[in-house]
């Protein structure tokens, strides 16, 4: 995969018993999440899962798609991948409706915002379709499970810690996020702000602004340059967006500012590995293929009434291990890792 900006553009530990009770209408689970379509009939064989990413061409989302398709192929299940060209919650609504009309068994959605798709997802559940979210959550009452790549606060903490190490824990920095409504990125930013306010380790660091790249590589590139110009004392930028991180790194490399400005963030390692090798960029990352496998397998098992989003329950995913259901149906893939020159070769994506 090219590193240039235009490439970015372009057996269970505790499974619930399969029974009539699992298929019957029920109230919210112990963690407070909605049934997500739990009143639907139980599938006894292959399932059809409709996947809605935030942006269909994002390499991150495409990697999840391929992993889900590989998992589906093992038992004859089917994936329908359908996506908007704009990363907004409103743009996802027609695709929820499309999947309802296609009578899928499960909708697996990465929310561009928390609430825009709530009404559409409610219609899906009324139609007997189950709902799970992945990567970026929707309102908990709109889905059953949320398959999260890592603990939300730890992702934010890792990005801040990473930048702090590169700028010696002092100086001005900015955040270049994707959109103002991005659920996961807003949660990471909130965690960063909380650390700045309450952890003395960061007392000499100052967040000067939060800018937005609108999930477009060219916008991120321009915004990165504008941040450098607007804040002459800027020491670093945190870019918690898979499209934005390589775009910002490339732009500042071209302008000669990378190095003077350090970048931490979140994105495909292969798109920023050359900058990681120089020590000017660090990346917080995980195995994206595993997220796709976890999300699809959870959706499939839920459609087959093999699992429910009950706090404290657990289930096995072949090849990945055992996963425990947390509050509001959240399931964590694992821990985020800071990618540095020493471990960069361990991340194939």
For tokens 């500012």, name the residue: 257
**Average pLDDT in the 31-50 region?**
69
At 336, the pLDDT band (50, 70, 90 cuts) reads confident
- Tens of pLDDT, residue by residue over 203-250, are 999 999 999 999 899 999 999 999 999 999 999 999 999 899 999 999
In whole angstroms, what is the distance from residue 19 CA to residue 124 CA?
23
Give bridge partners of residue 52 from the DSSP assignment. 109
If one compares 197 and 59, the residue with the highest pLDDT of the two is 197
Q: What is the pLDDT of residue 25?
A: 31
Tokens 């590169």 belong to which residue?
A: 166
Lowest mean pLDDT among 26-35, 55-64, 77-86, 244-253: 26-35
Phi-psi sector, 73: left (phi>0), alpha (psi -120 to 50), beta: alpha
Q: What is the pLDDT of residue 283?
A: 97
Q: How confident is the model at residue 348 (pLDDT cuts 50, 70, 90)?
A: confident
- The confidence band for 26, taking pLDDT boundaries of 50, 70 and 90, is very low
More confident residue, 50 or 7: 50
**DSSP track, 37-89:** STTSPPP-S--EEEEE-SSTT-HHHHHHHHHHHHHHHTTT-EEEE---SS-SH
* Residue 321 burial (C-beta neighbours within 10 Å; 0-12, 13-18, 19+): exposed
Residue 4 pLDDT level (bands cut at 50, 70, 90): very low
For residues 97-108, average pLDDT: 98
**Widest distance between CA atoms in the chain:** 65
Q: Which domains does the chain have, with CATH numbers?
A: 9-150+287-334 (3.40.50.2300), 152-286+340-346 (3.40.50.2300)
Is residue 29 helix, strand or coil?
Answer: coil
Q: What mean pLDDT is predicted for residues 307-318?
A: 98
CB atoms inside a 10 Å sphere around CB 21:
11
For the chain, give the mean pLDDT: 89
Instruction: Return the bridge partners of 236, or none.
Output: 173, 262
CA separation for the pair 96, 51 (Å, rounded): 9
Identify the DSSP state of 98.
Answer: H
pLDDT category, 150, cuts 50, 70, 90? very high
Does residue 349 register a pLDDT over 90?
no
Rounded to the nearest 5 degrees, what angle is found at the Cα of 330, between the Cα atoms of 328 and 336? 145
Q: What is the mean pLDDT of residues 134-150?
A: 96
CA angle 38, 40, 44 (to 5 degrees): 105
CB-CB contact of 66 with 52 (8 Å): no
Q: Evaluate if residue 32 carries a pLDDT over 60.
A: no
Q: How far is CA 322 from CA 110, 288, 314, in A?
A: 23, 17, 7
Q: How far apart are CA 336 and CA 41, in angstroms?
A: 36
* 341 CA to centre of own chain: 24
Alpha carbons 87 and 119: distance in angstroms, whole number: 18
Question: 46-50, 329-333, 341-345: which range is least confident on average?
Answer: 341-345
pLDDT of 17 higher than 80:
no
Instruction: Mean pLDDT check: name the lowest of 17-21, 71-75, 91-95, 295-299.
Output: 17-21
pLDDT score of 157: 94
Distance CA 134, CA 126 (A): 21
Output the pLDDT for position 95: 98
Model confidence over 56-75: pLDDT tens digits?
988 889 999 999 999 999 99
11-15, 31-35, 277-281: least confidently modelled range: 11-15
pLDDT confidence of residue 11? 38
């Amino acid at each position: 995969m090219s590193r240039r900006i235009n490439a970015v553009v372009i057996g269970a530990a505790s499974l619930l018993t399969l029974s009539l009770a699992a298929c019957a209408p029920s109230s919210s689970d112990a963690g407070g999440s909605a049934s997500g379509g739990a009143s639907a009939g139980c599938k006894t064989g292959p399932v059809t899962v409709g996947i809605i990413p935030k942006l269909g061409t994002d390499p991150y989302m495409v990697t999840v798609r391929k992993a889900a398709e590989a998992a589906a192929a093992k038992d004859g299940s089917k994936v329908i991948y359908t996506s908007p060209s704009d990363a907004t919650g409103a743009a996802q609504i027609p695709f929820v409706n499309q999947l309802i009309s296609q009578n899928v068994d499960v909708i697996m959605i990465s929310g561009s915002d928390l609430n825009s798709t709530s009404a559409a997802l409610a219609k899906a559940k009324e139609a007997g379709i189950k709902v799970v979210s992945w990567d970026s959550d929707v309102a908990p009452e709109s889905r059953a499970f949320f398959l999260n790549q890592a603990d939300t606060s730890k992702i934010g903490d890792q990005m801040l810690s990473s930048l702090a190490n590169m700028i010696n824990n002092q100086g001005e920095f900015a955040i270049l996020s994707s959109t103002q409504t991005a659920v996961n990125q807003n949660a990471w930013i909130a965690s960063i702000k909380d650390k700045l306010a309450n952890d003395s380790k960061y007392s000499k660091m100052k967040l000067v602004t939060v800018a937005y790249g609108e999930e477009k590589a060219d916008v991120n590139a321009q915004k990165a340059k504008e941040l450098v110009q607007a804040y002459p004392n800027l020491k670093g930028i945190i870019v918690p967006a898979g499209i934005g991180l390589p775009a910002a790194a490339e732009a500042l490399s071209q302008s000669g500012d990378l190095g003077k400005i350090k970048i931490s963030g979140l994105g495909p390692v292969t798109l920023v590995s050359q900058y990681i090798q120089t020590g000017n960029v660090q990346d917080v990352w995980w195995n994206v293929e595993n997220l796709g496998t976890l999300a699809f397998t959870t959706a499939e098992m839920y459609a087959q009434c093999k699992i429910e989003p009950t706090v404290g329950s657990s289930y096995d995913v072949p090849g990945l291990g055992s996963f425990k259901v947390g509050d509001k149906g959240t399931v964590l893939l694992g821990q985020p890792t800071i990618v540095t020159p020493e471990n960069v070769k361990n991340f194939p994506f």
